[in-house]
Structure 1
Amino acid sequence: MTQTDICHCPVTLSSSSALEDWNSVVLGVLSHGRETPVHLGRLMDTAPDFAMGHAARGLFCLMTGRAEVIPAARAALTEARNCAASSNITAREQGWISALAHWLDGSPSAAVETIEQILRALPYDTISAKLSHGIRFMLGDSAGMRTSVERILSAHGDDHACRGYLLGSHAFTLEETGEYVLAEKTGREGLSLAADDAWGLHAVAHVYDVTVQPDNGIALIDQNTAAWQGSNNFRYHVWWHKALLHMERGELDVALGLYDAQIRAEKTDDYRDISNATSLLMRLELEGMDVGPRWEELADFSEARVEDGCLVFADLHYLLALAGAERGAARDRMTARFARDASKSGEMAARVDAPGTAAIAGLNAFSEGRYDAAFLNLAAARPLMSTIGGSRAQRDVFERITIDSGLRAGRYDATAAILRDRLAQRGGTIDRFAATRFEKLNTSRGIAAQ
């Protein structure tokens, strides 16, 4: 039996309760809700032959970026295919199965294209749009994210229950591609329609970060708690954004307090939580703050991830923890694994090769005080760093390390060029980091001239 879900799309479910559970999964994914796994579990108990549900489980496993869930994702693919073989499923549902298969075969870009084919036929399919958005985010494809969303915006009219969430995704793509005024407007409009859209709220927080409006950013987060308090661990990322905004105001102690009270309130090893934590500690250390023994807890988790190799973005943040805690042997093992992975074929191996190997060499050199080698390697990696995934705000920690390496190495002209390029990418607004580094640059040049 085929019914119509909250996205106005056909779904092969036979009972109203199963449809209700599926709609709850959809809304949970769109809002980053913490009860999403519960809804999916209930759905699969009610409708164990629902092929798309099994495919969804597999895809959600892969989005965690953890090597140990790959067997579960493969098992989900087998279940999905078995269910599809014994029932007449929709093209949309088959597309999700195919997307899972492509990703497991090492081609996330083929998975994205499969999802985009669904969206060409069903442009009002918000959950498929969110899936494409999420995979592209992991691939660092900001332009593709924007194109994908804008292609289907007109199909999400005022009568579409998920319009607010799509606007939140659009706001994020606008911010990542430099359209800051429109990103703020779109994100706030989305929040007015979907008050629990953590992703949309965080898109506007990005705008206030890059345009250096920390007061507005902090007020946004404080005044829209409904958007993120009920979310899954994404709420820690919202706290991370708030910490960055306090850093912009020079309130380093407040940022460190948020680290202890919120960002690491739950000691998880999710790579997204580790990236929040390591990048904040690194930023604070670059500003001269002693963060104490906090690296140790992160390094314990990161050392267990040395062989994961799912995402370069995750690996480089694990490395920050290992360097911060002076786990030299673990850093060496990760460096050796990068060298092995770089010689393999496939999309992710290509990212390990470039920019991964140069980036890891640069970070290792920085941690050892070899600043010239750090700068040369990080500067070489810089043109391709967007391909490791994440947002520009998240990758900015590597920009900062690159710039500080150049300053410490005395490579003033090359560092000045990177500072100017970073400034241009941020719309020309000078943040606290840029202001202090330009000042250090001018001072160092003066001393060198004397």
Structure 2
Amino acid sequence: MFDYLGNATTVQQERDLQAINDFIKGFLGYNQCIVNILPAAEKSGNGLVHTYAGLLWMLSETGDTPEAARLHAKKAEAAHSLNEREKSLLDVLKLWVADDMHAVRRTLQDILTKWPRDLVALKIHQYDDFNNGRSLDMLRVTELCQAVAFDNAHFQGMRAFAFEQCHLFDYAEQAARQALVLDPEEAWAQHALAHIMLTQGRIEEGLSFLSAHTCEWDRLTSFLYTHLWWHKALFHLSLGQSEIALHIYDQHCWARDRTFSQDQAGAVSLLLRLEFAGLDVGSRWQELGEYLRPRKHDVSQPFLTLHYLYGLLRANRLEGAELLGTIRHAARSGTSSVFPVWHEIGLGLAEALTAHAEQRFGEIMPILDPVIGRIEQIGGSHAQRDLFEQLALDALVRIGKDNRAQQMLETRRYTTPYDVPTNEALAFLYAKSGLFALAEEARIRIIEVKSRSL
């Protein structure tokens, strides 16, 4: 039998093939049908079914290596009937469980060289690249599939996001638009376009675009459902509509799976951005902190861990101090694949976040400056990592470092001229500096964008 992408499998039963196709479609399209592989694996002896079930557990971002992933790897190995591609996918699972990520990438590239329509392998490769700030590798690996997968909407969505992370926005938009021609509901392509429009300052266009697709998102997994709403909230914040953004937080961004890593990180990020926009978020830090408590020893993905840390500290949870201690240990211990990131970049970011959460604003920039230039190494998108620049701006304004703050703010205004939070900060700084005409210009820009949004 052949899978949904046309790859040969050793599957003998229709129910196993359905589960495999649900995993592929769910993984590539962020559809909730991805979880169907787990109950199927309970009844199946097929090795590929167990390999995909194990990979799903590895993608669950629990903060450790799930024992279920090991068990599925053993069951897949015991099947003895895998074809060569399936054996290589099982190797990926076993190497990932062993935290040998260099070997994982080599094996994935070998798969894509031999079987370029195995878009599951491509997606896993991009997932690891993204989590480690390797945007060029995200793009390069798509070249292995381009000749045979160009007609696949999921592939074009993956290629679009890779282009976007490389700041190749024209190519990114072309690929995203092509994906949406192939499938108007291709959510990862919608996500790529949201990034493009945000980065290029096309705020009203971006809001209009996402608003036209919200009715399609209920079928999505918790991550992309909440994340697309997160992007919509950022457009509202840029337009000065912070109350709408807060409503999105309550009704969408923090309304699905509150135990999932990406939802937790997105919630922390949006709450802090809401505060930067001048909004009182009430008891939401405390409510969020309750769900972050189990993360007190999770240093598996620096980008996510830094968000857990800030959320716990703002919630005044003792687990915040425990997590900071775990991070400090991770930055000293060379036993894990993420040690270099914690040692070189992550610890400094963690200390800066801690200083901000504890309102030690004068200590932030001496800690942040040596590491922020290499911040892509922690993973996450440049739109997500922009939170750290906003945090730096907040600290500079609070401690009266107006010259540097003005330079950063005007640089931000260059790409997003009518961003309301930026112009509010500029109006404040210029008035404080006695530059009243410039302050008035900033206020006029705010009035203009708000009048267009009525």
Shift of 1:15: 2.9
| Aligned pairs (5 A) from 1:319-358 | 319-327=309-317, 329-345=318-334, 346-358=336-348
* Contact 1:272–1:314 under 8 Å retained in 2: yes
Which residue is equivalent to 1:178? Answer: 167
Which residue is equivalent to 2:105? Answer: 112
| Aligned pairs (5 A) from 1:128-147 | 128-147=121-140
Deviations 1:26-80 (A, max 9, x none): 1121111112112x1354356x232222222222222222135522222222222
* Contact 1:354–1:384 under 8 Å retained in 2: no
Question: Percent identity among equivalent residues?
Answer: 26
Which residue is equivalent to 2:448? Answer: none
After TM superposition, the structure 1 stretch with the greater mean CA deviation from structure 2, 363-372 or 428-437, is: 428-437
| Aligned pairs (5 A) from 1:291-370 | 291-327=281-317, 329-345=318-334, 346-370=336-360
- Residues paired across the two proteins, number: 433
Deviations 1:127-170 (A, max 9, x none): 22122122222222211111111332121144xxxx11110111
| Aligned pairs (5 A) from 1:211-290 | 211-225=200-214, 227-233=216-222, 234-266=224-256, 268-290=258-280
Q: In the aligned structure 1, how far is the partner of 2:258 from the partner of 2:23?
A: 23
Deviations 1:257-314 (A, max 9, x none): 1111111123512111011111111001112210000111211111221112221111
Q: In the aligned structure 2, how far is the partner of 1:333 from the partner of 1:25?
A: 36
Q: Could you say what secondary structure the match of 1:265 adopts?
A: coil
Which residue is equivalent to 1:41? Answer: 38
Q: In the aligned structure 2, how far is the partner of 1:422 from the partner of 1:74?
A: 47
* Contact 1:201–1:227 under 8 Å retained in 2: no
Which residue is equivalent to 1:8? Answer: 6
Q: In the aligned structure 2, how far is the partner of 1:432 from the partner of 1:153?
A: 40
Shift of 1:91: 2.3
What is the aligned counterpart of 2:55 among 26, 45, 59? 59
Q: In the aligned structure 2, how far is the partner of 1:288 from the partner of 1:242?
A: 18
| Aligned pairs (5 A) from 1:177-216 | 177-216=166-205
* Contact 1:28–1:35 under 8 Å retained in 2: yes
Q: Could you say what secondary structure the match of 1:5 adopts?
A: coil
Deviations 1:222-279 (A, max 9, x none): 2224652311102111111111111111100000011111111235121110111111
Q: In the aligned structure 2, how far is the partner of 1:418 from the partner of 1:348?
A: 31
* Contact 1:31–1:197 under 8 Å retained in 2: yes
Change (3 A) 1:129 1:423: farther
Q: Could you say what secondary structure the match of 1:123 adopts?
A: coil
Q: In the aligned structure 1, how far is the partner of 2:424 from the partner of 2:142?
A: 37
Aligned-partner residue type, residue 166 of structure 2: T
Aligned-partner residue type, residue 132 of structure 2: L
What is the aligned counterpart of 1:122 among 115, 119, 140? 115
Unaligned runs of 5+ in 2: 436-454
| Aligned pairs (5 A) from 1:402-441 | 402-412=392-402, 415=405, 431-440=419-428
Deviations 1:353-397 (A, max 9, x none): 221110110011112221121122122221232122221111111
Change (3 A) 1:365 1:443: farther
Q: In the aligned structure 2, how far is the partner of 1:91 from the partner of 1:394?
A: 38
Change (3 A) 1:92 1:375: same
Which residue is equivalent to 1:166? Answer: 155
Q: In the aligned structure 2, how far is the partner of 1:282 from the partner of 1:229?
A: 26
Q: In the aligned structure 1, how far is the partner of 2:421 from the partner of 2:166?
A: 21
Cα RMSD after superposing both structures? 2.4
Which residue is equivalent to 1:100? Answer: 93
Q: In the aligned structure 1, how far is the partner of 2:394 from the partner of 2:303?
A: 20
Q: Could you say what secondary structure the match of 2:32 adopts?
A: coil
